[in-house]
Each structure stands twice: as C-alpha cells, then as structure tokens.
C-alpha cells in the first residue's frame, strides 16, 4: 500500500495556499478541487516542493 502524499492548493490570483494531508488512501472529491476562501478563485493543486517538506 502506498501512503497518500500531502499536497497543497495554490490560488493563482492571490497566492493563498492550503496544505492538504490525506488521512487515508481514500480521497474525497474535495481533495482534488478547492476554492480560495479569499477571492473565490479555483485553486491549483500542486505537489509539495522540497522546501515545503522541511516544515
Ligand atoms: Zn485567492
């Protein structure tokens, strides 16, 4: 079994980011699409970069 990898959503408009850490390998539809709480723009899903893993 492969452990689910954390990822983040990045708003292309205001730069707001949201870190997502899946608790299991069963993903919800909401794990793939998210809306920025600040400007209501559809956020882009991004894998965590090297710097993100340091924190
Ligand atoms: Zn935004």
In a domain, 22, yes or no: yes
9 CA → ligand 1 middle, Å:
10
CB atoms within 10 A of CB 4: 15
Q: So what's the pLDDT on residue 47?
A: 87
What are the φ and ψ backbone dihedral angles of 52, each rounded to 5 degrees?
A: -65, -30
Q: Which domain holds residue 41?
A: 7-54
Question: What are the pLDDT digits (tens) for 5-54?
Answer: 788 999 999 999 998 887 766 666 556 789 999 999 999 999 887 666 65
In a domain, 28, yes or no: yes
In a domain, 34, yes or no: yes
| Counted domains in the chain | 1
Query: What residues have their beta carbon closer than 5 A to ion ligand 1?
Result: 11, 13-14, 16, 36, 38-39, 41
């Amino acid at each position: 079994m492969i452990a689910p990898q954390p990822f983040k959503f990045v708003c292309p408009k205001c730069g707001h980011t949201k870190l997502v850490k899946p608790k299991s390998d069963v993903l919800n539809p909401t794990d793939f699409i998210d809306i920025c709480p600040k400007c209501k723009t559809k956020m882009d899903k991004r894998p965590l970069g090297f710097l993100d893993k340091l924190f």
